[in-house]
Homo-oligomer: A and B are copies of this chain.
C-alpha cells in the first residue's frame, strides 16, 4: 500500500502499534574538512555495527543557510557536518559514545560536540529541521532530489552533484540521511526566472541519472507522485511498466485509485484490461 502510493487501493482501517520511547538519547555534532571524510566516518560507524537513530549530513552551503537563518551553532567553515543521534537503553547509549567519537576522529573530524542538555539537543535538531525554510535566505525556491545510493558511493555521489552544480552555475545545498545513503540535493533558484527554472530541471534530471549510474534509486522516501514521473523511465524498463500496469489493473480495472501517478511513464498510464 505504501510503495504503491495509493494506486492499488484505499486504506479503510489502520491499526497503529505504539512502541515505548527509548529511555536514553545522545546527540553528537561532528564537523569535517571534506565530504569524503564525513562519508567515511558514516561508513566506519555502520561497519562497526553502530546503527544510529539519526545520521544526517549537511554540506557547507546548507550549514551556511541554516546559520544565517537561525543560529543552530553549526561551524560555518566546515565542508560537512554530521548530526548523529543514538537512542536505546542508557547503558547501550553510553557504551556507544566512545566508538562514535573514535570513528569521527579517525576519519579526520575537526571537532565532535555532544549535546549536554535537552535544550542543546533541540537546538542542534532545529537547525537541521529548519533547513528547508533556511534556504529562503539564499533563494526563494528550491528543487529537491530524493535519490539513494549504496552508502559506499556517498562521497562519489556528492562529488558528482557538486560538478553538476558547477556545470550549470547553480547553488546546491546537500542534506543527506547519510546512514541510509539517501541524498537530498537541494537546487536553489528563483521560480520567477523561467530560464533558471528550466536549467534547474535539467540539472535535477542529470543528478538523478548520475546517481542511478552509481546503483541508486530515484526515490528514497518521498515517493514518485507526479514530480518524479518523468524519471521513472530512467529506472524502469518497458517490461517493468507493463508488469506494473497489469498489477494496477488487477486491483483497479477502472483506474480509480490515484490515477496518473507513479506507474505512468509519460502522462496517465493506460490501464483497462491488460493483454
Q: Which residues from chain A sit less than 8 Å from chain B, CB to CB?
A: 19-20, 49, 89, 91-92, 95, 242-243, 246-247, 249-251, 273-275
Task: Enumerate the 6 nearest inter-chain pairs by beta-carbon distance, A residue then B residue, closest first.
Answer: A246-B250, A91-B91, A243-B250, A273-B275, A20-B49, A247-B250
- Residues of chain B within 8 A (CB-CB) of A273 are 274-275
Bound CA span A20–B48, Å:
10
Q: In the assembled complex, how far is the CB of residue A218 from the closest CB belonging to chain B, in whole angstroms?
A: 20
Bound CA span A19–B275, Å:
44
- Residues of chain B within 8 A (CB-CB) of A249 are 246
Bound CA span A243–B246, Å:
10
- Residues of chain B within 8 A (CB-CB) of A91 are 89, 91-92
What are 25 residue pairs bridging A and B, where the CB atoms are less than 8 Å apart in the complex?
Answer: A19-B49, A20-B49, A89-B89, A89-B91, A89-B92, A89-B95, A91-B91, A91-B92, A92-B92, A243-B250, A243-B251, A246-B246, A246-B247, A246-B249, A246-B250, A246-B274, A247-B247, A247-B250, A250-B250, A250-B274, A273-B274, A273-B275, A274-B274, A274-B275, A275-B275
